[in-house]
Amino acid sequence: MELSYSLHLGNDKNKSIKARKEAKNTPSGTTSKNNNAIQNVKQLGKVNHHNLRQYDNNQELIKTIKGSNDIVKDVKDLYLELFDEARLEYNNKQIRDDRKIDNYFNKISNDTKHDLACEIVIELGNMEYWDEKSLEYKYQMIQVFEQQLEDIQEIVPDFYIANATIHFDEHSPHLHIGHVPKERMGTSFISTA
């Protein structure tokens, strides 16, 4: 039997020309189209709530294989690791205090032009494949997904993973990866993708 493999990536439909036109007619000036880009700390909190299943008591049906039980903290910590040295260098070059960046995580969270983080989902097989499999069989996917993370980080070293959590409470086990996009620093500013 063939086993399908899917990697779900999202683009930010909220930044399309059509969405920007629609946003002009909303009270908030934004749209909320489906999107795997995490634009701010509020959306990151929703990802945390969903991925870590904070609304039920079935914690044995999720497994975090990278990071902690707090995705917001994991992303903040990764921002410090990735950007704090560059932030300090940037601030040292600034003459005016109002151009200095106190907290890069907060700056990007409040910036509508950049994404704070992104999420991808990896799934092997489909509902039919997993339908008759036992939970013990599904738990064998932990090693598979751990290897997937190692392979991703080896192949794409600039793919910075903050958190990786496996869900076993749906038809097929799948891995949610929260990562921080990073571009190289320009000489005059810090930027994420």
For the stretch 34-43, pLDDT in tens is 556 888 899 8
Q: Round to whole Å and give the CA distance between 192 and 100.
A: 17
Strands 37-38 and 117-124: antiparallel
What is the pLDDT confidence band of residue 193, given thresholds at 50, 70 and 90?
very low
Residues in the chain, overall count: 193
In a domain, residue 188? The reply is no
Determine what percent of the chain is predicted with pLDDT higher than 90: 47
Supply the CATH number for residue 89's domain: 3.30.930
Comparing CA positions, the residue from 129, 135, 192, 131 lying closest to residue 166 is 135
Q: Residue for token digits 């903050």?
A: 162
> Does residue 28 lie within any of the structural domains?
yes
The whole model's pTM is what? 0.79
pLDDT tens sequence across 131-158: 999 999 999 999 999 999 999 999 988 8
Residue 144 lies in a domain: yes
Q: Pick the residue with more confidence: 70 or 3?
A: 70
As a whole number of angstroms, the distance between CA 163 and CA 62 comes to: 13
Structural domain count of the chain: 1
- The answer to whether residue 186 sits within a structural domain is no
193 part of a folded domain: no
- More confident site: 52 or 73: 73
What's the gap between Cα 53 and its chain centre? 16
The residue segments making up the domain with residue 132 are: 5-180
In a domain, 16, yes or no: yes
Question: What is the distance between the alpha carbons of residues 32 and 23, in angstroms, rounded to a whole number?
Answer: 9
Range 58-71 average pLDDT: 89
- Supply the pLDDT for residue 185: 42
Domain-embedded: residue 187: no
pLDDT of residue 151: 92
**Model confidence at 50, in pLDDT bands (50, 70, 90)?**
confident
Give the type of residue at 189: F
Cβ-contact 190, 101 below 8 angstroms? yes
